[in-house]
Structure 1
């Protein structure tokens, strides 16, 4: 599998180091960069600009990327890059030179050490690199100016005898621990290839015609896992290696679901990262990276729905010690919404910002917040049902009874507050007013309750989802009706198709026994992903990829839908 690093960065499982071809960014020279994706998505983390030289002049090259190797090919020779370990990069060149230019900030510097080594310190990235010459000659241009180097340019020169020149580049935060480089480059590549293929073999199988998309989804998910560090208490699957370099507290659920059958330990860890960092109030952070926890918003409580889905597909999640890890945190998470997000004390929780819903700019938030929306109640009903099931396994009779009663009450209030004129509406908390004009798909999320909904409501929701020129397109469900005056083709949650909304609705339709319709929607989404890749979202009318072009939850949802809902010969 080859992929284009202009859209899909080159990296590996466990690493914060990625290679991206960046162009069209203000103030950034176009080209290939080594990036450090620690610290979140406020900065691209540029470390080195990478250029190739011949007879002292920079030359163009073609990039050929596979999971194990990034090859830079020219008419004169080539450079090959491999990441054999999360903190080590091996680079070799043949017949041409390699130039690394440090993306300079205040205090940045390079110092020569013995045995052909140089230590580079990037203050802005809070990271150090050890550059080791393995073969060939290195020339460093780095004039000193009082508190740092004015620039740092490292040239790995071409050998004259048609032999490789080669370097190793190690990243570390504090002190360098010496490594031996007795493994040759080809063995490094083989090591990575074997690791990736093991991941690929444990990726959910899909129908044969979708195999190219499976390989892409497999690489994206594998390469976006970073090792535990700082606030990341466990291996974390980031949303992307482009610029969404965090783990969010509902994105993680879809990634966990795709891992549940074949890699249950890593699946559970995606949920446990947020449990490890749960606030005493019960709320989960909005997102986490190695350096920061964000508490400005949170995300919807789909965790009970997701964990129940995982339990139904792997006995691993039904083990007593795992249920014990999940029960109390999910109880606190549920109670958080009832205690801290119900300002009018009507038993119906609210979103204080669109970001809390995950549908950041949905039209239900056009007139302000706080907003009460039926999807939130539906998620909590399912979470309460799961908690009742777990409490029953633990013989907690009173808690089982309490959760079941609370689930019934919440469902009753959801219908009473939001079902009006044969449709669900969203309301302003503490006000008799409701959100007018919005025709957002979020109001159809209660279909996830399946047969828990009264038949009349269930059938009306299905009818609305099938209605012509509304949500359903040739590629799936638009997030705002295509007939709405607020619809925008590239409007984030005001039109484009998204993986999470698709997954939730397909699962809800299956539970509502609309199996053929669910499978049709799943197939449309998978065909779109096969055509357009694993983008953050898609144009609802053309299937065109939008926003971040290499997203993990899109990859995960594609794998789930392809594995679960498409009746075709499996490759």
Structure 2
């Protein structure tokens, strides 16, 4: 390519980046979506004309992380300037009478327009409720900007400054560089795709204790860590615009296996969460199950997430070849798969179980209302899928003894599939779960995951498709509920007990495609991206009747954003 061609591509990319940034800005209300910056721990929310500034920390809620309870800019008459527009790089107040932007990752800059000597403003702030209000003049013959610096211990300092324009330009460039990577999708999905790409960028945090690793966290609002399952789904979306960052999420997820091969549930800035011993005491107490040996308070329970590692790795490799990188992870990945059979088959029947609800990813599902350990069809399906993916990977990557290794993975997948089929209840037309060996009556989305194997008998596939299309089970106005509507446990607002999740929809859609129903898979994918658009953003979960965000669902949620991107790219490619 000529130098001119490269320069033209850059111009086109910047133009597209600016358009994507503007589209994302339409969703930045400072309520559901805060003002933030990639890699920064600062969040700005609004409450009327008052802004509040928080830090973002692992296992700490927003109210624990307030650095300024009140931040506002007043005009010459003393009236607060309202927020009139929010862009990724700036909050505009009073139709541009003042702007707020970032000054690096640990400070904000508040400035008046340059060269307007008549501007007479004041920046007011209250550090904590009940404390005295403080003020600094802004504009006119005073400083052109005020710098709000936030220290690691949450102390804050406000001081006059003069570099506001430079900070605006630097913050704008940061966001334009990010939006230049935003995947191109169908026009009807482009606005939401831009917002979802903003969510992924806004949710980047640095983990200095891990060598300045970049983690794309589920949410800077309370989920500041790299949860293993989230990392897989987030990597699948990131791959379309930033495959290097996608690989970095898998690097972190695979960096800290236990000596026996188990992958930890969470990698965070203070260490890892790999067993119940790593939980706060209150969590251990809440999650004990009467009569369950594995929940004995004296016995640590491993905490991990379902085995979709090879599924995610293979998808990341689809968009950019990185065979040496993948080979570097293959041993850890294969050992983690072995761990399930060697250390989580708690009753020794050849079919691993969940020893703790956290390890399922669906913590509050009614399948865990009974005693542990819990045998579920989704775990069996994931294990089948992972062994099949590993067989292909060892062949593709040309590892030593690839033929024998691939044969072993396929053989174990076949045996696990046979065990999975023992969970089929033909009278109910559903896969059942077992709580400490006893059947669980709940009809949940985990019973649809065996479609992912692509190897179910046709009669079972037909019954599962019928369940998906049955309005008494899973055919809600906005499918697919995590608990069937005809089930007494169905609760449309309660986490994992009825709401729709983008990740489970994505997995069921892929299962339909693998099981011979590509058109049904496409319809579910279309309905899922419609849900995110209708609901106003990539929320954590949605009401299956209204399609709106469920009351307690986190907003600007990482895997919902990433999987919207992934579905939108696939649907756009299909035409």
TM range (shorter): 0.7 to 0.9
Q: TM-score, normalised by structure 1?
A: 0.82
**Alignment match of 1:157 (pick from 131, 137, 140):** 137
Q: Does 1:227 align with 2:185?
A: no
Distance 2:126 2:464 in 1: 57
2:43 maps to 18
Shift of 1:414: 1.2
Q: Does 1:82 align with 2:86?
A: no
Shift of 1:57: 5.5
Shift of 1:447: 0.8
Change in CA separation of 1:462 and 1:283 when aligned onto 2, cut-off 3 Å? same
Q: Is the 8 A contact 1:204 1:258 kept in 2?
A: no
Q: Does 1:364 align with 2:383?
A: no
Change in CA separation of 1:566 and 1:506 when aligned onto 2, cut-off 3 Å? farther
Distance 1:517 1:398 in 2: 37
Q: Is the 8 A contact 1:40 1:289 kept in 2?
A: no
Q: Does 1:349 align with 2:352?
A: yes
**Alignment match of 1:407 (pick from 413, 429, 448):** 413
- The one-character-per-residue Cα deviations of 1:67-121 (angstroms, maximum 9, x if unpaired) are 01012328xx8431111422342222452211233249xxxxxxxxxxxxxxxxx
Distance 1:244 1:292 in 2: 15
Distance 1:548 1:327 in 2: 34
1:447 maps to 451
Shift of 1:233: 5.7
Higher helix share: 2
Give the alignment of 1:193-232 within 5 angstroms: 193-231=172-210
Shift of 1:307: 1.7
1:5 maps to 30
Distance 2:258 2:34 in 1: 33
Shift of 1:210: 1.6
Shift of 1:222: 0.8
2:400 maps to 395
The SS at the match of 1:269 is helix
Shift of 1:348: 0.9
Shift of 1:335: 1.8
Shift of 1:324: 1.8
2:72 maps to 51
Q: Is the 8 A contact 1:388 1:400 kept in 2?
A: yes
The alignment of Structure 1 onto Structure 2 pairs a total of residues equal to 503
**Alignment match of 1:62 (pick from 74, 83, 104):** 83
Shift of 1:224: 0.8
**Alignment match of 1:298 (pick from 274, 297, 304):** 304
- The one-character-per-residue Cα deviations of 1:371-391 (angstroms, maximum 9, x if unpaired) are 100110111112112222233
Distance 1:332 1:267 in 2: 22
**Alignment match of 1:314 (pick from 319, 325, 330):** 319
The SS at the match of 1:342 is coil
Shift of 1:538: 0.5
- The one-character-per-residue Cα deviations of 1:440-483 (angstroms, maximum 9, x if unpaired) are 11111111112x22222222222221223321233221111122
Q: Does 1:286 align with 2:265?
A: yes
Distance 1:417 1:231 in 2: 42
More displaced stretch, 182-191 vs 58-67: 182-191
Q: Does 1:539 align with 2:559?
A: no
Distance 1:550 1:475 in 2: 20
The SS at the match of 1:241 is coil
Q: Does 1:459 align with 2:462?
A: yes
Distance 2:413 2:469 in 1: 29
Q: Is the 8 A contact 1:41 1:246 kept in 2?
A: no
Distance 2:177 2:76 in 1: 42
Q: Does 1:40 align with 2:59?
A: yes
Q: Is the 8 A contact 2:83 2:91 kept in 1?
A: no
2:243 maps to 264
- The one-character-per-residue Cα deviations of 1:498-540 (angstroms, maximum 9, x if unpaired) are 0110111111112223111111111111112112211111010
The SS at the match of 2:237 is helix
**Alignment match of 2:381 (pick from 378, 382, 390):** 378
Q: TM-score, normalised by structure 2?
A: 0.81
The SS at the match of 1:545 is coil
The SS at the match of 2:208 is coil
Q: Is the 8 A contact 1:62 1:73 kept in 2?
A: yes
The SS at the match of 2:54 is strand
Q: Is the 8 A contact 1:79 1:98 kept in 2?
A: no
Q: Is the 8 A contact 2:216 2:226 kept in 1?
A: yes
Shift of 1:256: 0.2
2:255 maps to 276
Q: Is the 8 A contact 1:231 1:289 kept in 2?
A: no
Shift of 1:425: 0.7
Give the alignment of 1:105-120 within 5 angstroms: none
